[in-house]
Amino acid sequence: MPLQLYDKDKILDACFEVFAIHGYANTSTTMLAEAAGISKALIFHHFNNKKDLYLSVLDRCIEKGRIEMGFDTLLENQDFFEAKEKFSIIKVNYYKKNPKLMKVMMEAFYETPVELKTEIQNKYGMLLDGNEKAWKKLFEKVDLRENVNREQAFRLVMLTLDYFDNKYLADLENNNDFEEVYLNEFLSERNSFLSMIRFGIER
């Protein structure tokens, strides 16, 4: 069969499964070729090397998640804290339904293989910065007390929210059978911390 007739999307789907199960470091080119049902020569006709193939898989994961979670529409004309809570719920439910995708994303951005650190930072740094700028723009609508530094307030809130989201996702990765009650308890604890930030802790 001519090289160009092989479906790149099918190759990516097959390789996604392998990376999700074994992780980047433990995945060999032989495993990827066998999963895709083609020779190593053919798989790397489409992708230069394992690193390039992994980044292409990651591209698809990010695009799929951004569309299905509706990140862009979520930020339209909403209260910052309401939008953040909605997005947390959407994100954890999305990853619960897509545990393999979550494993790839967690490895790429939280346990980044040394070999990929530079490429991931260069390739996705602007995307992550763009996401933060979108949240920051929404945060501008929050009515702060006089003399509160808006940049510092935003950073404090984001650090707190990121901590809880990452904690929940790490727990979810280790136990995909969490009940709805766990999510509600997570949100309750998260919101109690937010309340302390928003309304103060001193009498």
> Quick one: pLDDT at residue 138?
92
- 117 lies in the same domain as 137: yes
Q: Are residues 89 and 61 in the same domain?
A: no
The CATH number of the domain holding residue 120 is 1.10.357
Considering only residues 175 and 176, tell me which one the structure prediction assigns the higher pLDDT.
Answer: 175
Q: Are residues 64 and 75 in the same domain?
A: no
- Calculate the average pLDDT of the chain: 86
CATH number (domain holding residue 47):
1.10.10.60
Tell me the average pLDDT across 1-29. Answer: 82
- Say if residue 142 is in the same domain as residue 43: no
| pLDDT of 125 higher than 60 | yes
Element (H, E) at 197: helix 180-199
DSSP letter at 5 equals G
Query: Which range, of 120-124, 135-139, 170-174, 197-201, averages the lowest pLDDT?
Result: 170-174
Indicate whether 137 and 74 sit together in one domain: yes
- What pLDDT is attached to residue 156? 95
Domain range for 51 is 1-69
- Enter the tokens of residue 77: 């004309």
Question: Could you tell me if 86 and 52 lie in one domain?
Answer: no
pLDDT of 92 higher than 90: no
Q: Mean pLDDT throughout 148-172? A: 90
Taken in order 60, 61, 63, 68, the sign of the CA dihedral is: positive
pLDDT for the residue 159: 94
Burial-class residue 196 by CB neighbours within 10 Å (0-12, 13-18, 19+).
Answer: exposed
Q: Are residues 136 and 105 in the same domain?
A: yes
Which of 25, 46, 69 is the endpoint of a domain?
Answer: 69
Residues 164 and 88 in one domain: yes
Residue 3: pLDDT over 50? no
Shared domain for 85 and 159, answered yes or no, is yes
Please name the residues in contact with 140: beta carbons below 8 A apart, sequence gap of 6 or more.
150
Residues 203, 131 share a domain: yes
Q: Do 135 and 61 share a structural domain?
A: no
Q: Please state the length of the chain.
A: 203
34 and 115 share a domain? no
Number of domains in the chain: 2
**Cα–Cα distance between 127 and 180 in angstroms, integer?**
31
